[in-house]
Amino acid sequence: MLGVEAEYLPQGMECGTVEVPVDYTQPDAAKTEVALTRIKASSGKAQSTVFGNPGGPGNYALNFWNPPLDGTAPAGLYEKHDLVAVQPRGLYGSNPMVCDVEFVGPNAVNPLHDACYGTDPAYMASMTTENAARDMNAVREALELAEIDYVGVSYGTAIGTDYATLFPEHTGRMVLDSNTHPDWRWSKQAEQGAFAQEERINDIFAWIAERDDYYGLGDTPLKVFHSWKWVTDQEVGGPANLTPPPAESGDLPVELRGSMLEQPALDVINTTAPGRARAEGFARAAALQGLTNNATTGLFDATVGATYSEQAWPMLAHMLKYYNDGGTIARVDYETVGLMLAAQENRTPVLRTDVEMNAIITCNETAEPADQLGVMVAKADKATGGNRLTTRAAVEAAGDDCVGWEPVAQTIDPNGDALEEKPLILHSEDDAVTPIAGAHRVAEAMGGTLVTVGGGDHGVFRMGNEEVDRIVMDYLTNGTAEAGHVPGKPSPDPLPKWDQADRAAAAQQGMSAPIEGADDWYGTHHEPAPAPSTGPVDVAPVVPAPAPLPTPQEVHQQAEEAIQDVAGQIDAAAKSLFAPPAAPAAPQA
């Protein structure tokens, strides 16, 4: 079923499809199919059936209930409940559509819209949050269930509130985890998330700074930021130009700390930080770094990704430590740089609904018309050295994906007045993907019980927080929940350094070729690693590094000589005031 061999499915998982109307106002007209998976209660007697959705828009739901590989799960979840996941229409298994690019004209404003609406306009217009909820109800009917419980995460909370508002009589106990804001659908949701991510990145820098005795990357968030910045300033696409985190006493000269001038000095530094960052960004743009950078560390993207979960922070810090200890920065030739830049700015040439679902839902439902001029201004700001996250927020707010795309659906205002059982609403205090304002709004609209969770993880149920799991299972089992706050998961420990035994074990797998400048953090060592006590180990020979490409600094110098005198003067002046710290020297063997 669904093209997946049974041997690759989790034990007990069933797959199927249900036929649903393309347009629910015309139930006897065109049909489509949605896929579903089900895992029956291992006890053989289910207390309820719990539907679930992981979010997106566009995340695959079919594997939402896959049991954890380590065998851990909230007590009673798999024993007492049938678990169902419905794949939203347009995704894999639920009639995904390849859009015909023949419908895209030479002057198309929005190729995705033209290709997909040209291929099947009725089906495209049906891809909405409301229809995802209605499809879920059609599956409920097909399974002959009077009501369903539900767990939705992120965008899955929007599907959940739509379902509960449309079908309160068929709604049981609903858990809404990491809520989207009903009044922000959808461009403003993306905008607010971008703003929140910059704040969360500063939390990452603070976490690393608190462990300076281990990492040695700086004992204040600002110092860690500069350790991070000198790496990301070299990446393909140009520097991120983020505003530095607020300076602290430890960032000042010793003479100013604790003096009457400490606070005024900090006020000046922090007040002028955005302007100084913008001036430096302009200088770097004038030096053509956006076109000539050739480093491919991926550190910026990894940092943004780490805003989803604190458990990713040790690995990120490990990466940063590696580069600051002199580890090799991978670089590409400038033909490849051009291809990478083009890929960042353009969609894949094959347009598919299962790949582009986020944009499809956003543009089908966003009420505010796209502001093409606003998009152009935001992109110009980015191209001239603007903060990558705030310019992304401006692009999202202006509706970049939806230029040339008229919305076809109105979003549903959530209302829980008719619900016999009110939802349990979970949300991390510092969630950077769906800011907590959404949870307060959903709790108000649905009459739900709000439990806030410490930290900033996006998604808290089934993520290792035992107290959260207990609260959810009590609610699903007994229908009881109390508003309040629970601590987040304990802050993760740094990854351990490798010792001699680790290096020897890695050597047996051909993983210990030394990298110049790296240390015991990375399974490498400046001295040859000794053989393990069990016998000799064949260590892979060291492969000489290829001749280095020109450094970004060398290319930038060439670019600076070619630009106009005024731009050159601005560049020189900004660099003299705001030059980032030099890369640390590689440690000596």
Q: Encode pLDDT of 434-461 as tens digits.
A: 999 999 999 999 999 999 999 999 999 9
Specify the fold of 14-94+127-185+410-486.
Rossmann fold (3.40.50)
pLDDT at 577: 38
pLDDT at 496: 82
Q: Encode pLDDT of 4-41 as tens digits.
A: 666 667 788 999 999 999 999 999 999 999 999 999 99
pLDDT at 579: 41
**Does residue 533 register a pLDDT over 50?**
no
The Cα-based distances of 512 to 322, 505, 528, 531 in angstroms read: 15, 9, 10, 12
For residue 51, the cross-strand partners are: 84, 150
Which one is predicted more confidently, 65 or 538? 65
pLDDT at 396: 85
Write phi, then psi, for 545 (nearest 5 degrees): -70, 145
Going by pLDDT thresholds of 50, 70 and 90, the confidence category of residue 3 is: low
Report strand pairing: 171-177 vs 449-453: unpaired
Q: Encode pLDDT of 131-175 as tens digits.
A: 999 999 999 999 999 999 999 999 999 999 999 999 999 999 999
331-342: burial string, b at 16+ Cβ within 10 Å, e else: beeeeebeebbe
**What is residue 534's DSSP assignment?**
T
3-state secondary structure of 86: strand
Q: How many degrees, rounded to 5, is the angle at CA 205 between CA 329 and CA 583?
A: 35
> pTM for the full model?
0.82
Provide CATH 3.40.50.1820 ranges for the chain: 14-94+127-185+410-486
Cβ neighbors of 535 (< 8 A, separation 6 or more) are: none
